[in-house]
Amino acid sequence: MNEHGKSSSPLLRERQMIRQLTSRAIEIGTPIIAESALVQDRDFNLKDVEMTRKLIETVSPVTVENFQLHAHLQLAGKFSKKMAGLMGLDKNEMECLGLLHDFGRFITQRWLREELIENRTLRRMGMRESLLKKTPDVRIFTNRNPGNQNDVEQVMNGLSPAQKVIMMADICGKRKADGSILTFEEVMQHHRSSRSNYRLTTGLAPLWASEKKLNSDVVNFSERIYRASFDWFKSRHVDLEEMRTKILEEESETRVQAVMFDVGNVLVRNPDSEIMQDISRSLDLDTRVVTSAWDELVPKLQIGAMDSEEFWKKFSQMVGKSLPVGYENLLTRHLQTNIDPELEGLIGTLKKSGFKLAVFSDTVKPHIEAYDRTGVYKPFDVRILSPEIGVTKSKPEAFSIAATRLWLPPQGCLFIDDNPEYVQNARNAKMKAVVYESPAQLKRAMKEIMPQE
């Protein structure tokens, strides 16, 4: 193959992948928004915001790989809604557009291409053309002289108020690792650094021809537009720095709206010790040998890094034993699938009181399938399970993912687990959390945390 063939091959494979992801997004998303104001020519309402949220979380569920993008879209939605309210624009419409403004990044992270893919995908889902035009095109920054004030004024005059809202919601809607929101100046510093070192920052290689247009003039000119827009809003009594502070204050004061339950040793008995004893008997092995292999392999099974077949194959190799007939059931035959009646009553009361309920568990796929069949997950609105999100509760990002899955700031979440380490991780993430001992103890603890309930 010639040099041209070698260099184009990775991009051709990427193009095929993008087409597949786009087709899947269109297939999944079209029926979700078909009755929404994104498609229907009518005014927006709260149900349209709900449908937009459903579109995002269904097309690309929150995982360790994309939770930061989800968090960015959610924050951009908040900024869009607040700016719209102060500018006399439709708050529900602008929140929906803020949530969707970087939708293409679920398909590709490539500069410019993600915007083109986003427009094409949403258009094929049926989204109204008039709404698509309210998200500004990044090509307004290309072929411009950053030192030319006339170019700046021309672009600013060409942007509608709605376009300015979406553009600045994108800029301002960026969080730090600790959950706080970057100041405008911090965003500008990040913009200069990341865009000027695009290839290094993204790790993308080779580059598409369109990405090569992202030169220093584009970076400098776009910063001038962002600063001009910041001042434009301020001249209309919309202070984006004050808005950032207000959002953080509102988040810190959020009352508990969602309750997350661990499964093992909370909802049902943890079967791990019985499973390991059963494996020891079935393979005639010392429990220490089983425990050693278990401790090395189960964490990979819990985050979906291996499937059950690979787990048992490696387990057999590690312990030096052939697997017995029926080994496939060893992981599940000791599962308890009946929730404690007193705890079940508490869950029912919380649900009737309007709380969003979630299971948040480090688990393995065979357990998920068994709990699905037996209805353990049925009372819950959301499930946050380690093989599906790609990380366990031993990692801080698991709690950021959980809050993002619930569309809430961490302060609005209560986490219940029997493991003190995980409870502390939740508290470190600004969640309220309880070490579970019994239904009666949990009720007492919840009354202290949520006295208003």
Which tens digit of pLDDT belongs to each residue from 225-261? 999 999 999 999 999 999 999 999 999 999 999 999 9
* CATH number of the domain to which 377 belongs: 3.40.50.1000
Per-residue confidence (pLDDT) for residue 212, from 0 to 100: 72
Per-residue confidence (pLDDT) for residue 3, from 0 to 100: 40
pLDDT tens column, 372-422: 999 999 999 999 999 999 999 999 999 999 999 999 999 999 999 999 999
Does pLDDT of 211 surpass 80?
A: no
Per-residue confidence (pLDDT) for residue 307, from 0 to 100: 94
Q: Give residue 208's pLDDT band: very low, low, confident or very high (50, 70, 90).
A: confident
Q: Could you tell me which residues come within 8 angstroms of residue 361 by beta carbon, excluding any fewer than 6 positions away?
A: 262, 263, 264, 384, 385, 386
Per-residue confidence (pLDDT) for residue 203, from 0 to 100: 66
Mean pLDDT over the full length of the chain: 93
Q: Residue 131: give the domain boundaries.
A: 3-251
Does pLDDT of 8 surpass 60?
A: no
Sign of CA dihedral 422, 424, 429, 433: positive
| Most confidently predicted of 69-78, 106-115, 269-278 | 69-78
pLDDT tens column, 129-173: 999 999 999 899 988 999 999 999 999 999 999 999 999 999 999
Q: Give residue 266's pLDDT band: very low, low, confident or very high (50, 70, 90).
A: very high
User: Which of 1-15, 35-49, 267-281, 397-411 has the weakest average pLDDT?
Assistant: 1-15
Do 72 and 212 lie in one domain? The reply is: yes
Instruction: Please state the three-class secondary structure of 274-339 as a single string.
Output: HHHHHHHHHHCCCHHHHHHHHHHHHHHHHCCCCCHHHHHHHHHHHHCCCCCCCHHHCCCCCCCCCC
Do 66 and 168 lie in one domain? The reply is: yes
Q: Is the pTM of this model over 0.85?
A: yes
Does pLDDT of 20 surpass 60?
A: yes
Per-residue confidence (pLDDT) for residue 97, from 0 to 100: 98
Distance CA 261, CA 415 (A): 6
Do 43 and 170 lie in one domain? The reply is: yes
Distance CA 154, CA 140 (A): 10
Does pLDDT of 453 surpass 60?
A: no
Do 21 and 129 lie in one domain? The reply is: yes
Do 152 and 262 lie in one domain? The reply is: no
Total domains, the chain: 3
Do 344 and 429 lie in one domain? The reply is: yes
Does pLDDT of 70 surpass 70?
A: yes
Do 168 and 209 lie in one domain? The reply is: yes
Per-residue confidence (pLDDT) for residue 112, from 0 to 100: 81
Do 215 and 284 lie in one domain? The reply is: no
Per-residue confidence (pLDDT) for residue 2, from 0 to 100: 42
Which of 309, 329, 349 is the endpoint of a domain?
329
Distance CA 345, CA 434 (A): 18
Q: What is the mean pLDDT of residues 337-349?
A: 93
Which of 282, 302, 329 is the endpoint of a domain?
329
Do 99 and 208 lie in one domain? The reply is: yes
Give yes or no for a contact between 63 and 389, defined as CB atoms under 8 angstroms apart: yes
Do 300 and 362 lie in one domain? The reply is: no
Q: What is the mean pLDDT of residues 270-289?
A: 91
pLDDT tens column, 300-325: 999 999 999 999 999 999 999 999 88
Do 440 and 359 lie in one domain? The reply is: yes
Do 148 and 64 lie in one domain? The reply is: yes
